[in-house]
């Protein structure tokens, strides 16, 4: 494992946002949703997330998640991802979202 400095960590904008809408993403190579997330002062951003095993589209609405909002945009097929959805793989390799257990303001930074 490569060590990083505190300064390196401070550059990563891990921010909380609330999922506003979810969409099917049939063009994705692996099953995924498109998510529209409100990051408060940082705006509303879109991304894709391979989270279909643990979450239905409807249950994601209103859920607060953690995303990296300062990576460059990434082209995924015809879709442009504006942030990285964070999560952890379970014992089967399926993704469980990183989220908060109490509501915090959208745009709050992980510190």
* pLDDT tens figures, 38-90: 999 999 999 999 999 999 999 999 999 999 999 999 998 889 999 999 999 99
Residue 22, C-beta contacts closer than 8 angstroms, at least 6 positions apart: 33, 34, 35, 36, 57, 58, 60, 61
Choose which CATH entry (2.40.50.140, 3.40.50.300, 3.40.640.10, 1.25.10.10) describes domain 12-97.
2.40.50.140
Q: What percent of the chain has pLDDT over 90?
A: 93
**CB of 48 within 8 A of CB of 35?**
yes
């Amino acid at each position: 494992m490569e060590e990083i400095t505190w300064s390196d960590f401070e550059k990563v904008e891990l921010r909380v946002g609330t999922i506003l809408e979810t969409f099917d993403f049939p063009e994705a190579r692996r099953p995924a949703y498109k998510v529209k997330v409100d990051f408060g002062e940082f705006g509303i951003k879109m991304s894709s997330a391979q989270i279909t095993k643990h979450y239905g589209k409807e249950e994601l609405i209103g859920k607060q998640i953690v995303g990296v909002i300062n990576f460059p945009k990434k082209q995924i097929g015809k879709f442009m991802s504006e942030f990285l959805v964070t999560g952890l793989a379970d014992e089967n390799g399926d993704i469980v979202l990183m989220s908060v257990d109490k509501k915090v303001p959208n745009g709050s930074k992980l510190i």
